[in-house]
């Protein structure tokens, strides 16, 4: 009887482990940018420091994405001075708080905002991070769209949103 209980517990533990494990975070991660056609994504890889916990790596990946690819690479880039304030990872969901500079200095077309958020969402939802949806906050607030924007960002975004 004791062995049976032990077996059931072991199977349950194994099932839980398999169901909850994420991909392994290696020495580098992919960071996506959107090319100047506004739709094509391209990855580049960045080296990680010693920290491998998901919150640290997600914060790092998001900040690299906001910074964009190396200088000289044609890309749709987030407005200058945009910063990642916080990234909070809970389960398969991440909440990214961006500084208000992400809205830019004047209203723009849909081209840039969809290209920018597409890159951010694809960066954070890469398999090794175990994140499938991304909530966006601007200066801590949940917003329907960017001010005078088009893209709806008050619900969680995923790769299927684009």
Site residues, other proteins (CB under 8 A)? 35-42, 44-47, 49-51, 53, 55-56, 59-60, 63-64, 66-74, 76-77, 80-81, 83-88, 106-112, 114, 132, 141-145, 147-154, 157-162
d(C-alpha 62, C-alpha 30), whole Å: 11
Identify which of residues 66 and 124 has a Cβ nearer to other proteins in the complex: 66
User: Given the complex with other proteins, which of 2 and 72 has the nearer CB atom?
Assistant: 72
Smallest gap from Cβ 10 to other proteins, in A, equals: 33
Q: How far is the CB of 93 from other proteins (least distance, A)?
A: 14
Instruction: Give which of 63, 54, 60, 56 is closest to 131, Cα–Cα.
Output: 54
Cβ at position 148, least distance to other proteins in Å: 5
Nearer to other proteins, 108 or 128 (CB): 108
CB nearer to other proteins: give 6 or 140. Answer: 140
**Alpha carbon of 123 to those of 13, 19, 22, 65, 132: distances in Å?**
31, 23, 15, 7, 11
Q: Which residues pair with 41 in a beta bridge?
A: 34
Q: What is the 3-state secondary structure (H, E, C) of 16-51?
A: HHHHHCCCCCCCEEEEEEECCCCCCEEEEEEECCCC
**How many residues are recorded in the chain?**
162
Minimum Å gap between C-beta 15 and other proteins is 24
């Amino acid at each position: 009887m004791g062995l049976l209980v032990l077996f059931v517990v072991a199977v349950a533990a194994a099932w839980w482990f398999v169901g909850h494990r994420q991909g392994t975070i290696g020495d580098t991660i992919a960071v996506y940018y959107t090319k100047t056609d506004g739709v094509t994504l391209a990855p580049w890889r960045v080296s990680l420091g010693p920290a491998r916990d998901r919150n640290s790596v997600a914060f790092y990946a998001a900040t690299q994405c906001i910074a964009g690819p190396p200088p000289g690479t044609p890309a749709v880039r987030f407005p200058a001075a945009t910063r990642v304030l916080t990234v909070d990872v809970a389960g398969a969901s991440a909440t990214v708080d961006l500084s208000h500079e992400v809205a830019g200095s004047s209203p723009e077309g849909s081209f840039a905002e969809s290209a920018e958020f597409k890159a951010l969402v694809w960066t954070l939802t890469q398999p090794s991070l175990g994140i499938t949806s991304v909530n966006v906050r601007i200066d801590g607030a949940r917003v329907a769209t960017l001010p005078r924007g088009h893209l709806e960002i008050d619900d969680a975004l995923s790769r299927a949103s684009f």
